[in-house]
Amino acid sequence: MAGILELARMLAANPPAMRTELALWTLEEPPNFRNETMGSAVHAKSLADAKARVKLMISVEMIGYFTGKEDSQEYPAGLGVFYPSKGNFIAVVGKWGQGAAVSQVKEAMKLATALPVETLPAPAFVPGVDFSDHLNFWAEEYEAIHKLAGD
């Protein structure tokens, strides 16, 4: 919550050109993950029911997690060959077809931090690609990505 409040403060000082909504949801973890009681599922459905236009949803995860410890990262089978073994980076994850959004967020992140920024546009069936609130926005056919610090 502290990270989102800081983001709100920063956006207030430098308002983006378009309307931006910050939301915090409950019930992301099991036993509620992947069901209609997730806070993000309720919110995404309410937006869809209202026919709200959403340009991009960014799920912000693992704010403040950082480690230089070797082998602190775990990946789905085979991906560890391509990505850092230390949790000292920011990742921008999206499903196939969202390469433009993933790249745009990566470039914005690179302007805002000296930390390395990695990307993973992958099929939604790859384990971990849909492990957060953005999953519910995909279900409502909104473009959504996952931004996280190394975890």
pTM of the model: 0.85
**What number of residues does the chain have?**
151
Mean pLDDT along residues 18-30 = 87
In tens, the pLDDT along 79-114 reads 778 888 888 888 888 999 988 999 999 999 899 888
What is the 3-state composition of the chain as percent helix, strand, coil, each rounded to the nearest 5? 30, 15, 55
pLDDT computed for residue 91 by the predictor? 87
Strands, sheet with 117-122, edge to edge from the N-terminal-most edge strand: 57-61, 144-149, 90-95, 117-122
- Average pLDDT of the residues of the chain: 87
**Cα distance between residue 94 and residue 144, in whole Å:** 7
**What's the pLDDT at 85?**
85
Q: What pLDDT is attached to residue 48?
A: 97
